[in-house]
Amino acid sequence: MTAKVLFTGKTHNTNGKNAAAHSSDGFLDLKLPAPHPEAENLFGAAWSACYMGALELAATQKKVKLPPEVAIDAEINLNHDASSGFFLTARLDVSLPGLDRRVAEELIHAAHGICPYSKATHGNIAVETNLV
């Protein structure tokens, strides 16, 4: 079975005095001052946006109506230690106000199994997910 490409994101990054990132569709047009903390911010924004869609799909599959105030705060940490070098850790704080806690936790767990970013990071970085 061949996978169908649903979307392709294309970016062009430059370094130096005028460091920047641009997407081919013109949506992103960012200056990237050294040491590029935007990389962690962009990863957090992309992951949480994808995770939001995964939550919506999980809720649809489980026939749960999501509250309109769903929110995700993503924190991506760039870490360094002598033995491992550079590595990432992440925390996703998920707000599902008004949902039963058990149902909300089931949706959060299911979303990790759906979200491509969660799948890509699974077993590769420490991820903490909190229902807030």
Tally of domains within the chain: 2
Task: Enumerate the β-bridge partners of residue 55.
Answer: none
* Residues 97-126 pLDDT 10s: 999 999 999 999 999 999 999 999 999 999
Give the CATH number for residue 100: 3.30.300.20
Does the pTM surpass 0.85? The reply is: yes
Same-domain status, 2 and 47: no
Same-domain status, 74 and 100: yes
User: For residue 16, what pLDDT is reported?
Assistant: 85
19 is in which domain, residue-wise?
1-33
Same-domain status, 63 and 29: no
Same-domain status, 67 and 108: yes
* Residues 6-61 pLDDT 10s: 999 999 988 888 888 899 999 999 888 776 667 898 999 999 999 999 999 999 99
Same-domain status, 52 and 80: yes
Same-domain status, 101 and 61: yes
